[in-house]
């Protein structure tokens, strides 16, 4: 494919799209106001868990997540091969734990619809449950085991995708400060606070929670808001048996990383663009964690951090071309699932740029779906 494109935003979504667009033959320039992977992507726990994170019903969003999970084995291998950088990708499966008999019915109904969507799930109780995950509280009454769920070490993945981009010939410009869209109606021109100017035929906007800043300029409503996720990690004593699965409850999750840490997340706070960590937020996690893994009652987290998830008003990401400006594309608003959704987003964006129609069900992610900033425009 000929032509050039600027990717605005160097999180996992922007980087993955840049890599895929380059693989399809475009000249790609990626611009980032700070460091690549410096926001939600670097803060993420790296859960690849569409079944555990979508407990209600198999809607379009679940379908997107599930299709992306199916791309992961090949995608992560391609990133490793192109970049020459290794990172953790662990196909551990997950346990969604119920602590009360009353929650069993909900697990059973999820098991039913999720099995028909390839989860391979089963409900474990009693000795089978504690054999599968020995450190789990004996107050657990059951868990839904989903063997196809996995996780990656997100900061390393982001760095590897960046290296793969560079190795493939993507030009990456970081630390540019504020970047403004100077022209967009025909050709695209961006002006950075650093003084640099970038021009191209097309633009992909993948600026995460900051995408809403483009609303006025582009004339469309972009209702994307930052939701802070506070997260913590425990140093895992080598004598303790590592956690074998991703462990979810209705209150959070625990995931053992190969670097010896146990990562526990995450709050959902409305705090604007503030990424500070609060004692209250972390205490909520630590109090809950020890009810799931009693050994955590004896230790305190050694590391605490926060990231901003980009949440869209209707809970679905924005993926695709603008209806009123087909050379401008958006890939943003992936909320809790940016790491998981990076391969499918990259594929859909590259298909759109190549002029291929997206599957009908992907209409749920149209960036124009909230209409124009003036009532009735572009809706």
Least Å distance, CB 338 to ligand GLY, is 8
265 scored as a contact of ligand GLY (CB under 6 A): yes
47 scored as a contact of ligand GLY (CB under 6 A): yes
Site for ligand GLY in 349-378 (CB under 6 A): none
Q: Give the long-range contacts of residues 99-104, CB within 8 A, separation 24 or more.
A: 99/137, 99/139, 99/140, 99/141, 99/249, 99/291, 100/141, 101/141, 103/141, 103/142, 103/250, 104/141, 104/142
- Give 348's contacts (C-beta < 8 A, 6+ positions apart): 319, 320, 331, 358, 362
Q: Which of 37, 38, 121, 229 binds ligand GLY (CB under 6 A)?
A: 229
Q: Which of 266, 293, 329, 346 binds ligand GLY (CB under 6 A)?
A: 266
Which CB, 122 or 268, lies closer to ligand GLY?
268
Whole-number Cα distances in Å, 311 to 25, 264, 336: 32, 21, 8
Cross-strand partners of 171: 29
Q: How many CA atoms lie within 13 A of 354 on its CB side?
A: 17
336 scored as a contact of ligand GLY (CB under 6 A): yes
Chain position carrying tokens 């695709």: 320
309 scored as a contact of ligand GLY (CB under 6 A): yes
Which CB, 194 or 278, lies closer to ligand GLY?
278
Least Å distance, CB 15 to ligand GLY, is 18
Least Å distance, CB 248 to ligand GLY, is 10
Q: Which of 17, 26, 45, 203 binds ligand GLY (CB under 6 A)?
A: 45
Least Å distance, CB 41 to ligand GLY, is 11
Torsion from C-alpha of 154, 157, 161, 167, nearest 10 degrees: 150
Which CB, 48 or 353, lies closer to ligand GLY?
48
Which CB, 208 or 265, lies closer to ligand GLY?
265
Classify each residue of 134-156 as buried b or exposed e, where b means 16 or more C-beta atoms within 10 Å of its C-beta. ebbbeebbbbbbbebbbbbbbbb
Q: What number of residues does the chain have?
A: 379
226 scored as a contact of ligand GLY (CB under 6 A): no
Least Å distance, CB 231 to ligand GLY, is 7
Q: Give the interface with ligand GLY as residue ranges (CB under 6 A).
A: 45, 47, 229, 265-266, 309, 336
């Amino acid at each position: 494919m000929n032509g050039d494109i600027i990717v605005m935003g160097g999180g996992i979504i922007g980087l993955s799209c840049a890599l895929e667009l380059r693989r399809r033959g475009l000249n790609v320039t990626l611009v980032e106001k700070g460091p690549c992977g410096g926001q939600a992507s670097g803060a993420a726990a790296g859960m690849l868990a569409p079944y555990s994170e979508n407990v209600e019903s198999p809607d379009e969003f679940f379908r997107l997540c599930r299709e992306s999970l199916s791309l992961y084995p090949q995608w992560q291998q391609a990133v490793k091969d192109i970049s020459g950088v290794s990172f953790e990708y662990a196909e551990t499966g997950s346990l969604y734990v119920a602590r009360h008999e009353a929650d069993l019915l909900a697990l059973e109904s999820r098991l039913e619809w999720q099995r028909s969507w390839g989860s391979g799930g089963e409900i474990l109780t009693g000795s089978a449950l504690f054999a599968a995950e020995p450190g789990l509280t004996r107050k657990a009454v059951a868990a839904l085991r989903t063997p196809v769920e996995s996780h990656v070490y997100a900061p390393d993945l982001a760095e590897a995708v960046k290296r793969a981009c560079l190795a493939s010939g993507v030009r990456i410009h970081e630390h540019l400060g504020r970047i403004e869209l100077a022209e967009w109606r025909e050709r695209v021109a961006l002006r950075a606070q650093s003084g640099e100017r970038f021009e191209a035929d097309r633009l992909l906007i993948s600026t995460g929670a900051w995408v809403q800043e483009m609303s006025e300029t582009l004339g469309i409503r972009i209702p994307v808001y930052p939701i802070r996720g506070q997260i913590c990690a425990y140093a895992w004593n080598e004598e303790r048996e590592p956690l074998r699965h991703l462990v979810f409850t209705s209150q959070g999750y625990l995931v053992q990383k190969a670097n010896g840490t146990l990562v526990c997340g995450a709050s959902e706070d409305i705090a604007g663009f503030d990424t500070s960590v609060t004692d209250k937020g972390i205490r909520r996690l630590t109090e809950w964690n020890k009810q799931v893994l009693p050994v955590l009652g004896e230790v305190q987290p050694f590391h605490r951090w926060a990231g901003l998830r980009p949440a869209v008003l209707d809970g679905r990401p924005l993926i695709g071309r603008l209806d009123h400006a087909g050379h401008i594309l958006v890939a943003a608003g992936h909320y809790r699932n940016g790491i998981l959704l990076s391969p499918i987003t990259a594929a859909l964006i590259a298909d759109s740029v190549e002029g291929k129609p997206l599957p009908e069900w992907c209409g749920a992610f149209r960036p124009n779906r909230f209409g124009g900033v003036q009532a009735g425009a572009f809706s």
